[in-house]
Amino acid sequence: MAFRALLLAVSASLALVAGPAAAAGFVDAATGFAVDPPAPFLVAPAKSPSYDVATIINSATGSPSLGVGDDYLCQIGFKAEAQSADFTQEEINLEVEQPNWLDNAAAALSRTFDVTTKQTFVLDGATGVELVGKPKAGVPGAGVFISMIDTPRGRTTLNCATRIEELDGALNQFRLIRAGITLPKAAK
């Protein structure tokens, strides 16, 4: 019960700190990267050493639950990759659709997780990779949902974590959060 109360307090304080922008979404004017999750999810800007622009997502209702020891449900980040600018979105999509691309992404996750789902999806004309994993037997941790989308501007990544027993039921919610992402516009 104390964990749930703490979670709700954190979600409420996140909404207060982020103000009305949390409910309306997040937009990075420099890149066009935007996140507008459906209710009851709230978005707030974040700092991350892994991304040029990052946000975090939490649920106003506390469902799905945060992963054990986590401060947020999901993180969405964009990292510019200059070498990607040499390719069109269609060329990138063709590469991502190759079985070895998906297998390589799953192999990286499989070092610490049993990969239960690996598939591609399309968001705004860009083909992405979706991975779902549960901690290997005997290893404590959360279940994870990861989506990576490469564009000529760079990579957008969605990482979500929840309690293992809630993961399967949360997948559609995580996909709805992903659907609220606007990928960065091509550099001018």
pLDDT number for residue 188: 58
On whether residue 29 sits in a domain, the answer given is: yes
Distances (CA, A) of 75 to 43, 83, 126, 186: 9, 24, 20, 22
On whether residue 86 sits in a domain, the answer given is: yes
For 177, the domain range is 2-182
On whether residue 67 sits in a domain, the answer given is: yes
In the block, residue with structure tokens 């945060």: 66
On whether residue 11 sits in a domain, the answer given is: yes
pLDDT number for residue 15: 35
On whether residue 141 sits in a domain, the answer given is: yes
On whether residue 187 sits in a domain, the answer given is: no
Number of domains in the chain: 1
Please list the ranges in the chain whose pLDDT falls under 70.
1-24, 187-188
On whether residue 188 sits in a domain, the answer given is: no
Give me 7's structure tokens: 């979670």
Whichever domain contains 113, its CATH number is 3.40.1000.10
pLDDT number for residue 1: 29
Reduce the secondary structure of the chain to three states and give it as a string: CHHHHHHHHHHHHHHHHHCHHHHHCEECCCCCCEECCCCCEEEEEECCCCCCEEEEEEECCCCCCCCCCCCCCEEEEEEECHHHHHCCHHHHHHHHCCHHHHHHHHHHHCCCEEEEEEEEEEECCEEEEEEEEEECCCCCCCEEEEEEEEECCEEEEEEEEECHHHHHHHHHHHHHHHHCEECCCCCC
pLDDT number for residue 141: 83
On whether residue 112 sits in a domain, the answer given is: yes
